[in-house]
Amino acid sequence: MQFFDVLITVGALLVLMVPGYILTKCKVLPEKTDTVLTALVLYGCQPIMQFMSFQKESYDSRIAINMIIVAGISFVVHMLMIGIMMLFFRARKMETKAKINCLRFASVFPNCGYMGLPFLSFLFKGTDHLGEIIIYAGVDIAVMNLIMWSLGVLMITGDRKQMSLKRALLNPTVIALFMGIIVFFTVQTPIAQLGTGATNQILSKLMEGLNIVGDMVTPLAMILIGFKLAKVKIKDLLFDKWAYLASANKLILMSVLTMVVVAFLPISIEVKYTLFFCLSMPSATCSTMFAVQFGGDSETSAVMVLLSTVLSILTIPLMFLLFSRGFGVVI
């Protein structure tokens, strides 16, 4: 895999923002488009995409062990980043407290679901690694969601009472991921390959339909980002110091931290690449949703997400170059 492959993949993914941007600027999309798209992606398409991520390969004990390894490393990297953010960024004034909280959140949680999975699908399409890598990405997303809906809520609100294990376990994405993992371990064969004759045809078409719905996450999420980009003033995007700080933390610090953690461990190359790319993604789109839901600084959060997404077209390929050449990790 080459630097140019990664650059083209990131560019192709971000081009999908253009329709949302243009249609918003031309006033074709109504004001509530972001609300509708967010609900559709968050509660409809993404859970199906997460479930289908475990339908790419048959059960294998090696993959099962690697899933545990991915979960453990993902948890460690996220916790290290949370510790760094809580240690180094403290609000001394009340007016900056909400901004600091959003900075911490946007610095820690990557856009694994909306951008990471589609990116990996594009990058490894046609290779023998794809199915395995998508499964590991699903595990990483599960870990991230559990942390995000528990400690992440604390980071946004600063209120321990807002933390809820029930909320962390019962959001649609985590439920779908648990269902996918259970089916993977119990059925041990992709559902589309079960049965014979007419039964096999029905199951294959059913899973094909679910795949189509799950694949809608990519264009819808990118259109949503394009919509939000069109609503932000260029001045706010280019001159917000908080957004640059969050982008540097997320795109560079977390990426380098992940490299250091995984590069020298005796783990499979698929695990290394999955964790590196997933944790090097820009700030999670749900950073803004959490800021809105829990009374954070949603405007600053939106700028952080947008700026990190735009900058990722440069940082992801450059971080990959460091990972592959500097650390010698080559697939």
Q: What CATH code is carried by the domain that includes residue 307?
A: 1.20.1530.20
Counting the structural domains of the chain, the total is 1
Kindly report the backbone phi and psi dihedral angles of residue 221, in degrees, each rounded to the nearest multiple of 5, phi listed first: -65, -40
Higher pLDDT, 308 or 238: 308
Mean pLDDT value across the chain: 86
What is the pLDDT, as a whole number, of residue 91?
A: 61
What is the pLDDT, as a whole number, of residue 312?
A: 93
Domain assignment present for residue 307? The answer is: yes
153's CB contacts (< 8 A; 6+ apart) are: 162, 163, 164, 167, 290, 294
Domain assignment present for residue 331? The answer is: no
Domain assignment present for residue 137? The answer is: yes
What is the pLDDT, as a whole number, of residue 331?
A: 65
Give the up-direction half-sphere exposure of residue 115: CA atoms within 13 A in the CB hemisphere. 34
Higher pLDDT, 67 or 165: 67
What is the pLDDT, as a whole number, of residue 130?
A: 86
Domain span at residue 295?
A: 3-326
pLDDT in tens, 293-313: 676 677 788 888 889 998 999
Mean pLDDT of 241-260: 94
Domain assignment present for residue 210? The answer is: yes
pLDDT in tens, 113-128: 878 888 888 888 888 8
pLDDT in tens, 78-111: 999 999 998 888 766 655 788 888 889 999 999 9
What is the pLDDT, as a whole number, of residue 92?
A: 60
Residue 12 pLDDT class (50, 70, 90 cuts): confident
Q: Report the alpha-carbon distance of residue 258 to residue 320 in Å, rounded.
A: 12
DSSP 13-77: HHHTHHHHHHHHHTT-S-TTHHHHHHHHIIIIIHHHHHHHTTSSS---HHHHHHHHHHHHHHHHH
With 0.75 as the threshold, say if the pTM is over it. Answer: yes
Higher pLDDT, 27 or 32: 27
Residue 192 DSSP class: G
66's CB contacts (< 8 A; 6+ apart) are: 132, 136, 267, 268, 270, 271
